[in-house]
Amino acid sequence: MRGAIGAVAVAAVALGTFLAARSGAAPQPGAMAAAPVELRLAALEKSVAELERQNAALRAVVRLSGQDVVIQAPMKLQLVAGTSVETNAGSEFSARAGSGFSLRGGSTGVVEAGASLDLRGSITRVNNGSAPAARVGSNILNGKVNDGSASLLVP
């Protein structure tokens, strides 16, 4: 409401100044000084409205609960950095996907655990392999594994 009043006041002062200039009459005292203040007020009100809109948009995806922060995007959440992205957790880190996922690096990559590392899958491929991996006691004939693991495939 205040923004509309400010805009009307600015328009009225500008119109009055324009009409006075056309008619040759002297403008009302203070009319010229009031216009810049009203214009600045209107600009500030517009800026505040934009900041309130942006704040509401942020509050829709970022929630604070005690010491926890939740970022929840309705579709896609994208992190982009010029050089690196780093995540650190004091005790545990978990990443989950409802269906498929991928981790890709442009050059080298490392998966490392301080204790045991468990890779699970109904079929686990090493380097997009298609041949069963040998197990202790596997029957190997002419360099081929005949009774290896059907769930671990190697090149």
Q: Do strands 62-65 and 140-141 pair parallel, antiparallel, or not at all (unpaired)?
A: unpaired
Residue pair 138/146 in contact (Cβ under 8 Å)? The answer is: yes
Question: Distance between CA 13 and CA 25 in Å, rounded?
Answer: 15
Looking at residue 1, its pLDDT comes to: 47
Cα-to-chain-centroid distance, residue 46: 26
Looking at residue 44, its pLDDT comes to: 92
Mean pLDDT of successive 10-residue segments in the chain (155 residues)? 52 57 57 70 92 92 91 90 91 91 89 89 84 82 79 78
Predicted TM-score (pTM) of this structure: 0.48
Structure tokens at 90: 């004091």
Residue pair 36/13 in contact (Cβ under 8 Å)? The answer is: no
